[in-house]
Amino acid sequence: MRTCLLLCGLALVVTVAMGEPAFASTNAAGGLPWEDGITKLKNSLTGPLATGLGVIGIFACGAILLWGGDLNGLFQKLVVMILVLSLVICANKILTFFYTAEGATIAGAAGECVDAPADALTARA
């Protein structure tokens, strides 16, 4: 029994000592193995073709739901599912459109931007 444990321990030490080092990164980008596929998927979903198809899908599904009349349950769920998928694809462009606008600023004498005082706006009324 004791020699068996000694031989198993020796075999374990030799196996660990002789093994090649295993690195976590194996792809060219230096990240995890699935990051290349996810990057390609992200680029495909945010490209101009996907955005155009998403906008067409939003308008088509909205028109079907608005003027479609009495739709059966399965077709209505399918149209809503396509509408949601189109909104998900276009979400990045929609949020960028709404949240990149800047507020109104007034240039000062030295070129710096100053906020308009609140009483200056109400004094004219």
Q: pLDDT digits over 41-95, tens only?
A: 888 878 888 888 888 998 999 898 888 878 888 888 899 999 998 888 888 777 7
C-alpha to C-alpha distance for 57 and 90, rounded to whole angstroms = 10
More confident residue, 65 or 1: 65
User: Does residue 61 lie within any of the structural domains?
Assistant: yes
Number of domains in the chain: 1
- DSSP character at residue 88: H
User: Does residue 87 lie within any of the structural domains?
Assistant: yes
User: Does residue 84 lie within any of the structural domains?
Assistant: yes
Q: Output the pTM of the full model.
A: 0.48
User: Does residue 23 lie within any of the structural domains?
Assistant: no
C-alpha to C-alpha distance for 105 and 44, rounded to whole angstroms = 38
User: Does residue 116 lie within any of the structural domains?
Assistant: no
User: Does residue 121 lie within any of the structural domains?
Assistant: no
Burial of 89 (0-12, 13-18, 19+ CB in 10 A): buried
The parent domain of residue 53 ranges over 44-98
